[in-house]
Structure 1
């Protein structure tokens, strides 16, 4: 199966390169920057962004990993050590049912601004929410705008985890964006590029944290939830840089061999990730880690947007911590533009 996947990806690279040549571009990367409408940043800008992440964020992640190693009383971290709670605590359970998740999220939104809570209340009244996981249900989670009514639909698979809370808040941010743009005369203006769309959702995750006591009445659990989420926010950056830098190399070198692909992936992965983690005895598996990122197969060059939006969301959160009312007003005014 792995060999088939690699062959499939090689064929995709070749076909995409030919598409770019047919359209008059030197490579598929340049073609996609034009196709995605990236008129305000260039490949060179993304390279500088990668370098900034490596210089400023990666050392923080190294500190997190070292603290984890000490907490686990280990001499060296192994890959599986990154996915356990260092103190041995069970997973957080912030809600039991989809209705409880929705009710608590509405409360959080209302505390921030009554308008935000009303957005989700309207969706509930119209039956525009499908939150609980069930047998046979499609995976994933998303907010789907509906232009005719202006009231979007949220789909997700809640299973009583912290991740589900963040997903609901995230998709709720998208939903608020849909409500704020529903009166725009041009439908195209209601569907902004991902750099802006994800800013709406990621900012909501962070601004809402002041009210997570709705989900976590125990102060220790509340602190643990916030710490886990903020660490995850920072960990987003190195992985996005890894995937994006790898894509640039792939399409700048469309005739590369599978062995060269393995080698280059490993180099880039080590540049940004798990620098204090031992892969001894597992070296043969590391070159395949990129396979888990479906974007590389399905939506090439759609990934750097997550890091750009996350950086913007951190700036919105900084403003919120300095002046909540002004930050929320600015957030809504910006989103209302489309």
Structure 2
């Protein structure tokens, strides 16, 4: 059976690798240009790849080999598991594949090209964030916040129809809905996931409420209003998923005159992870027609790793560069001797963990001194406030993530329910932000992930847990006193996380790297009970 599987892989993998590379390249061109022809080319190539996975005869062969139990060579057995999952998820009709890709690409294209308006003038996402970060006039803030939601009505109907269509596909494969199907193919048990989320909700409820009361008082004073007048537009992010700049120390001041791209290289060089080739291939600055978000892509699993950003000299984009380059160094440092199928991440949550581990560093006083060049005395003076900012950021993000995970679960269970009200029910429950009186709009649809990255957000939360677990293991193994200028950090991550690729099931890899399966323990110790 080993020989039979190897022959199957020798025939199939080159076809997958070719379409993988060409579709990733087409997506890159589509998101960096906004050219409809590139979007169409990407949609066509992605359809071809999904149709290859949908091959019923090939899937039958994989299923027979897997169920035989006679594939005994470990790397072959792991490749079989990986490929079986990829094929199982796509056992749908070709017409459904084409329609699925068409709908997803259309929504992605809307987000890429859309520019909100304030008083009739087009504004970018960066400009909206600048207003929410700096302007104190409540009416101007409200106008910017409402502008951030203008894309919602443009795509909401399409997202709901896409959710229903995904559910139809899942039903044909024997699943209750697309959400449950996706979790199974991600090797995540739904009950275990929501048990963990429940533990996090309970552990963070009181600390978050206390932190938010303090934050609301600060922001209200800044805007000249009473704390009970706080509304969604008084926070520094349209979804209140990021911590606002501190009144005591504005981290943006440390980056306003800096080249955040150059700082990124200084940091990664210091921990023994070369990123120059990634930067050389990347598209880092904003322009009309370009996707306004940020992502990392591994084009071919042979070293062509790139990031897309829209860099400005501020703390947000500094953190985003570190985050995306975290994905990049993971993708770049797989063991080249691994078979192509295993030259990939162990799981979405593990690559998010690495990205988040690095993205947190802008709120580390030691990093600010050694990398951003903040004078040691100044960094030490603000160290407690910077640590407080990081704790705020983590609490805010976890509570925001609870909104997304619960809303998405419920949306797939019943896409015909009142989603506008459901969204604000969860915002009030988990983020403790008051809904806007009299507003009935699809604000949820302004979050791109719900249309284009379905059943993904739980991996951000699990990634934060895993980041804390990786950090605790490095501190234990290396007796770290600093997360900067220590090449052992890059070596530890390369040996224990990057090089194994997808050789092991994700929780097995985490256990081998840290000594324990994934647990909330280290995140809670770092940010809740510390």
TM over 0.5: yes
Report the CA distance between 1:238 and its aligned residue: 1.6
Report the CA distance between 1:313 and its aligned residue: 0.5
In structure 2, the residue matched to 1:335 is 498
The correspondence for 2:247, drawn from 87, 91, 103, is 87
The correspondence for 1:240, drawn from 389, 401, 409, is 401
Cα deviation 1:59-89 (Å, max 9, x = unaligned): 2221221112333444423323332646387
In structure 2, the residue matched to 1:70 is 217
Say which SS state the counterpart of residue 309 (structure 2) adopts.
Answer: strand
* Aligned mates of 1:91, 1:164 — CA distance in 2: 12
Instruction: Go from structure 1 to structure 2 and tell me whether the alpha carbon gap of 1:293 and 1:137 turns closer, same or farther (over 3 Å shift).
Output: closer
Cα deviation 1:221-262 (Å, max 9, x = unaligned): 6765554344223322122221111122222235x33x3x33
Gaps of 5+ in 2: 1-149, 237-243, 481-485, 502-530
Q: State whether residues 206 and 313 of structure 1, in contact with CA within 8 Å, keep that contact through their aligned partners in structure 2.
A: no
Write out aligned runs for 1:196-275 (5 A). Answer: 196-206=350-360, 209=364, 210-213=366-369, 214-215=371-372, 217=374, 218-219=378-379, 227-254=388-415, 256-257=416-417, 259=418, 261-274=419-432
Instruction: Go from structure 1 to structure 2 and tell me whether the alpha carbon gap of 1:271 and 1:184 turns closer, same or farther (over 3 Å shift).
Output: farther
Gaps of 5+ in 1: none
144-153 vs 100-109, which moves further: 144-153
Report the CA distance between 1:144 and its aligned residue: 2.2
CA-based RMSD:
3.1
Q: State whether residues 58 and 273 of structure 1, in contact with CA within 8 Å, keep that contact through their aligned partners in structure 2.
A: no
State TM-score, norm by structure 1.
0.81
Q: State whether residues 156 and 442 of structure 2, in contact with CA within 8 Å, keep that contact through their aligned partners in structure 1.
A: no
1:56 and 2:214 are equivalent in the alignment = no
Q: State whether residues 181 and 335 of structure 1, in contact with CA within 8 Å, keep that contact through their aligned partners in structure 2.
A: yes
In structure 2, the residue matched to 1:194 is 348
* Aligned mates of 2:212, 2:445 — CA distance in 1: 24
In structure 2, the residue matched to 1:17 is 167
Q: State whether residues 307 and 324 of structure 2, in contact with CA within 8 Å, keep that contact through their aligned partners in structure 1.
A: yes
* Aligned mates of 1:128, 1:224 — CA distance in 2: 37
Write out aligned runs for 1:144-223 (5 A). Answer: 144-147=297-300, 149-181=302-334, 183-192=336-345, 193-206=347-360, 209=364, 210-213=366-369, 214-215=371-372, 217=374, 218-219=378-379
Report the CA distance between 1:97 and its aligned residue: 7.6
* Aligned mates of 1:244, 1:250 — CA distance in 2: 10
1:31 and 2:212 are equivalent in the alignment = no
The correspondence for 1:290, drawn from 419, 432, 444, is 444
Aligned pairs, how many? 321
In structure 1, the residue matched to 2:51 is none
Q: State whether residues 206 and 314 of structure 1, in contact with CA within 8 Å, keep that contact through their aligned partners in structure 2.
A: no
Report the CA distance between 1:51 and its aligned residue: 1.1
In structure 2, the residue matched to 1:108 is 267
